[in-house]
A and B are shown apart, each in its own frame.
Chain A
């Protein structure tokens, strides 16, 4: 049973560019959340998707957007990249109504 799968594992982008990160939730899970983990920090909640809609959002600018597909997979898009966007981006999934997320291994984004 595959857990949460994220791609790519590493990515280098230039300031001002746009990036798309992908996440496949654990089998049977229908809810996906995204977190940003800067170096030496704990993860920070970006947003959560359920039934293809953004249900809750953390304190992140509109440059951060997402999407959830009918198969529950999800994308995180970041526009106009800043150096400060460099971080590990974690995707987490769960089954709606239950608690306790399963996290993926993350995508390491470096903005130069």
Chain B
């Protein structure tokens, strides 16, 4: 079965500190992996995506993620967090088994940034 686990429900970091949000997935084939961000009352904005090739993916707003097949992980990182990064972050998986249309999302990690 396809699933995504985001083990951290809530993370608090200081502005300027580094950030890593964890994502583990279960998928029976080579996955398509995504990170989305959602601000309160807003829809989802795509940060980055992985389909194939280089396992280190660069996204918008200074975010990057690394696909590690051996660990079934796709962790999101940012070297220096800004106060505007406070939001909910969702990892999602799709692929040839279920179609890129049918994304399975994790339950999200809420990021709080303190001054």
Contact = CB atoms under 8 A, between A and B. Distances in A.
A binds B: yes
B49 A99 contact: yes
Given A41-B108, A43-B103, A90-B44, 19 more contacts: A40-B108, A41-B107, A42-B4, A42-B92, A42-B106, A42-B107, A42-B108, A43-B90, A44-B105, A45-B102, A48-B99, A48-B101, A55-B101, A100-B34, A101-B103, A103-B36, A103-B44, A103-B45, A105-B41
Interface string A41-69: 11111001000000110100000000000
A87 to B, nearest CB: 13
A50 B45 CA distance: 22
A41 to B, nearest CB: 6
Contacts of B43: 4, 90, 103-106
A42 B90 contact: yes
B32 interface: yes
Interface in B22-68: 32, 34, 36, 41-46, 49, 51
Interface residues of A, number: 23
B46 A101 contact: yes
Interface string B84-115: 00000010100000011111111110000000
Interface in A9-64: 31, 33, 40-45, 48, 55-56, 58
Contacts, number: 54
Interface string B1-21: 000100000000000000000
A100 B101 contact: no
Contacts of B34: 100
Nearest to B39: A105
Nearest to B4: A42
23 contacts: A40-B107, A40-B108, A41-B107, A42-B4, A42-B107, A43-B44, A43-B103, A44-B105, A45-B101, A45-B104, A56-B102, A58-B102, A90-B44, A99-B32, A99-B100, A100-B49, A101-B103, A103-B44, A104-B43, A105-B41, A105-B43, A106-B42, A106-B43
